[in-house]
Amino acid sequence: MRKIVVTSGKGGVGKTTVTASLGRKLADMGYRVVLADADVGLNNLDVVTGADSRVVYDIGDVAAGRCRIFQALVADNESTARILPSAGGGEEMSAQAFRGVIDSLTDCDFVFIDCPAGIENGFHRAVSAATEAIVVTTPSASAIRDADKVLTLLSAYRLEDISLVVNRIRPDMTARGEMMRADDIARLLGTPAVGVIPEDDCVTLYQQLGRVPDFALSEKAFALLAKNIADRTKKCAEIRMPLRRRRRWF
């Protein structure tokens, strides 16, 4: 079982969306996937995956012995992945208790731990249960700076692998030199990128309706990211936007 924490330090970079989309892609590939929400204060992984109305038990109930782990898992409507909801108001949960719940998911191939924003206790609780880490950032200066801080903290843990996902890249802007390229960001942070996700309005448009459609620009990028994670490779490239036919005026 591979236990991968998805973190960022800074909130609002699309970390939860990356967690859900990556997990669903791997589930489509035939892997047994659990998406675990480690944000016990502002949990929203169940909302992003559309499973919030079906939650009966959560990770806090499992830790307290009020239910078995299989009773807390909620099936994802859009894939074979399962969601382990977080415990609202469970900020006092210890790292040991959280780690015990994650370790009990023995029938999985992948457990993705959606880490809370920031670098406080919630961050350390989530990372302590993982064996690998994915740091999500965007091309903004503040997000890159926060990613650098997170990478420094992660280096203190005995993780098997630490990788980078650069989210919300605008290929048109990188082509004009108006935005940093993903490989430049990876080089600056000294961490290999396993995924480059383009800015995609389909993510916002379809997220509340269900799964992002296969024709969306970001879906190809998530497929490449999932293959890298499954194969433990670091091959990635920025997705090129299709050329638009120039309108002629007469």
Mean pLDDT by 10 residues, the chain (250 residues): 93 90 95 93 80 89 92 92 83 88 95 91 94 96 95 95 94 86 94 91 58 70 94 77 44
Q: What is the pLDDT of residue 246?
A: 41
**For residue 237, is it within any domain?**
no
**For residue 249, is it within any domain?**
no
How far is Cα 232 from Cα 98, in angstroms, rounded to an integer? 26
**For residue 100, is it within any domain?**
yes
50 close to 77: Cβ distance less than 8 angstroms: yes
- Helix (H/G/I), strand (E/B), else coil: 6: strand
CA–centroid distance for 219 within its chain: 14
How far is Cα 159 from Cα 224, in angstroms, rounded to an integer? 23
Measured distance between the N- and C-terminal CA atoms of the chain, rounded to whole angstroms? 63
**For residue 71, is it within any domain?**
yes
Closest to 30 measured CA to CA, from 241, 227, 236? 227
- Six-digit token string for 154: 């992660």
CATH value at residue 219 = 3.40.50.300
Q: What is the pLDDT of residue 243?
A: 42
**For residue 246, is it within any domain?**
no
Q: What is the pLDDT of residue 245?
A: 43
Q: How many domains does the chain have?
A: 1
- Helix (H/G/I), strand (E/B), else coil: 35: strand
Compute how many other C-beta atoms are within 10 angstroms of the C-beta atom of residue 237.
11
- 15-28 vs 217-231: helix crossing angle, rounded to 10: 70
**For residue 179, is it within any domain?**
yes
Q: Which domain holds residue 109?
A: 2-231
**For residue 250, is it within any domain?**
no
**For residue 239, is it within any domain?**
no
